[in-house]
Structure 1
Amino acid sequence: MTDVVLSTNRLFKSFGALRATNDVSLDLRKGEIHALIGPNGAGKSTLVQQITGHMMSDSGSVQLMGDDLSGKGPAARARLGLGRTFQISSLSMEHTVLQNAVLGALGRRGDVMRFLRPVMKDQSLLSSAQDALARVGLAEYAAMLAADLSHGQLRQLEVAVALTLQPKVFLMDEPMAGLGLEGAQQMIALLTELRQSAPILLIEHDMDAVFALADRISVLVYGQVIATGTPEDIKVNPEIRAAYLGDEVPT
């Protein structure tokens, strides 16, 4: 399909006798949020690491805009347009909010070894970083140390850093983790806006957020995609509801 931005084709990954991903094929289309759900240990994080290049697949391929990413590492894939946020923060806590965003923009150039002080005088990098902070609502916190931000603000900063990469795709690993109701609502609003810039592959345990955001949902169990469909398709699937969703499905 011409609107497919990211796709995986028959991805496999085993650790000894454990098959973490087993023949996983799915796609992400322009303008959509595609949620990936499943129980703990289903292989969701392994799949994301295969997509980003942090983990090499035993077999299968990942394509971005029709280009095969095989053999490319995480930095190269990020520069090509894979913007990722992490389940556990990967930010530099001793640097300011603006410095973190500038470092993200620098990574897009593939020049991450430059010293930070000269980089902070680069107007192109500063402009990219400031624009990203403004989009996520952190412009007024630019001079604050990342260590002094709230948990919700740290998640926003991770999104801003991903934005500086000018991504073609967002890969988001539990962006709601640790957020209260207000923080989750703010993140839902942010992701709803961001999908206009780039589609989002979303891994999330918060079922309220998943059903509020997703256009399609894939269910991963024991490394296999057992179902893909609209939120309504997934809600009414009795096997999935009984085994994996239970009372978590919003009514």
Structure 2
Amino acid sequence: MTDPVLETRDVCKSFGALRASRNISLDLNAGEIHAIIGPNGAGKTTLIGQICGTLKPDSGSVRLLGQDVTGLATRDRAQRGLGRTFQISSLAMEDTVLQNAVLGALGATANPWRFWKDVLKDTDLRTKAEEALHRVGLQDHALSRTAELSHGQRRQLEVAVALTKEPKAFVMDEPMAGMGSEGSKRLTEFLDELREQAPILLVEHDMDAVFALADRISVLVYGEVIATGTVDEIRSDAAVREAYLGEDA
């Protein structure tokens, strides 16, 4: 059996008396989508922060491609292959779609502070950015202002920005947030294909999308994983139904 692409081992995090993460161990394997679900306040955001580097665990470790990255900054984890999309968009709305993608490509280089005008003339960076935009279906919007995109297209652009860094794993924080049913359906189809390029750790409240996409689901309640399993296993787990899904799941 191959080693996980991404994993946490006994991760713990407290804020005063609040234990936001309690010995959380989970992993993400090549080619899969592993969803993390749970009620508001379950500790999902805290866990994602520790995985991506914005929070440091009190104990435990985070490993990427078999290497311990617990002490690395967010940017260093990104350069090692951890791609992230956010619940709230982090795009530069007044810049063009292409500029956002080029900026993402620049962030994957060893010299991310180059003068912006020079960057736009860099053939290699532009090519990488244009390839990423084509991959997500935004090539025809390359010169559009990002603010002019639909909500779903902005989500696609966030993925394109992450793709320019050639990620080995994605961490996606509620990519379906704010989308209607048609937008969610299109993004679900896109993510289903994207897993072949890099596996996805997916935090999501849209249970239709989770059940359609996930190979495995981990349920987080009060900072603790109470169950991990396939869609069918999670659907039928009595503790999960009581804690989160409800009797209508």
Question: Helix, strand or coil for the counterpart of 1:94?
Answer: coil
Q: Is the 8 A contact 1:216 1:231 kept in 2?
A: yes
1:239 Cα shift? 2.0
Aligned to 2:152: 152
1:111 Cα shift? 2.4
Q: TM-score, normalised on structure 1?
A: 0.97
Aligned to 2:227: 227
After superposition, what is the alpha-carbon deviation per residue over 1:111-147, rounded to whole angstroms, capped at 9, x for unaligned?
2211221111111111110111111111000001111
Which residues of 2 match residues 173-188 of structure 1 at below 5 A?
Answer: 173-188=173-188
Following the alignment from structure 1 to structure 2, what is the Cα–Cα distance between the partners of residues 3 and 133?
31
Question: Helix, strand or coil for the counterpart of 2:13?
Answer: strand
Q: Is the 8 A contact 1:207 1:248 kept in 2?
A: no
After superposition, what is the alpha-carbon deviation per residue over 1:192-236, rounded to whole angstroms, capped at 9, x for unaligned?
111000100000000000000000000000000000000000001
- Is 1:107 aligned to residue 107 of structure 2? yes
Which residues of 2 match residues 55-204 of structure 1 at below 5 A?
Answer: 55-204=55-204
Aligned to 1:209: 209
Return 5+ residue gaps in structure 2 as ranges: none
Q: Is the 8 A contact 1:188 1:209 kept in 2?
A: yes
Following the alignment from structure 1 to structure 2, what is the Cα–Cα distance between the partners of residues 196 and 60?
29
Structure 1 runs of 4+ off > 6 angstroms?
A: none
How many residues were matched structurally?
A: 249
Q: One-letter code of the match for 1:157?
A: L
After superposition, what is the alpha-carbon deviation per residue over 1:33-58, rounded to whole angstroms, capped at 9, x for unaligned?
00000000101111011011111111
- Residue identity over aligned pairs, in percent, reads 63
Following the alignment from structure 1 to structure 2, what is the Cα–Cα distance between the partners of residues 243 and 55?
26
Q: TM-score, normalised on structure 2?
A: 0.98
Which residues of 2 match residues 4-83 of structure 1 at below 5 A?
Answer: 4-83=4-83
1:248 Cα shift? 6.1
Question: Helix, strand or coil for the counterpart of 1:243?
Answer: helix
Q: Is the 8 A contact 2:5 2:27 kept in 1?
A: yes
Question: Helix, strand or coil for the counterpart of 2:5?
Answer: strand
Aligned to 1:245: 245
Q: Is the 8 A contact 1:6 1:29 kept in 2?
A: yes
